[in-house]
Amino acid sequence: MAKQSVQSSINQPKSMIQELRMNQAGQLLRGSKMQIKEIANMVGYKDAFSFSKMFTQYHQLSPSEFRKLSEADYAVLLAIMDESLHKRSLKRYY
């Protein structure tokens, strides 16, 4: 039992670091046109393969799938916002 407790306390900072890296990678994939290998290096991976494998395990999507989905979501969000603004501006005139 003590061994599990020690192992758990060792893994906690490691998983927190991994979470930070994966979140930062997600932000970079969403907000930039950087190549995946550049993002991998920026978040501390030596190669794109290791990064892609870990990213896919964490997000259940490959980095390129994540980026495509984020771009599609962004386009949908913009369309919704545009429609909402249009409806609000029409209400002013009636």
Q: Could you read off the pLDDT of 4-42 as tens digits, one per residue? A: 554 545 567 888 999 999 999 999 999 899 999 999 999
CATH number, domain with residue 21 = 1.10.10.60
Count of domains forming the chain: 1
Range of the domain at 59: 2-92
CB 42 within 8 A of CB 28: yes
Chain centroid, CA 76 distance in Å:
17
Q: Please give the model's pTM, rounded to 2 decimal places.
A: 0.68
Chain centroid, CA 62 distance in Å:
10
Token pair for residue 41? 């290096």
What's the pLDDT tens digit per position in 49-71? 999 999 999 988 999 999 998 88
Residue environment code for 13-47, b if the CB has 16+ CB neighbours within 10 A, otherwise e = eeeeebeebbeebbebbeeeeeebeebbeebebee
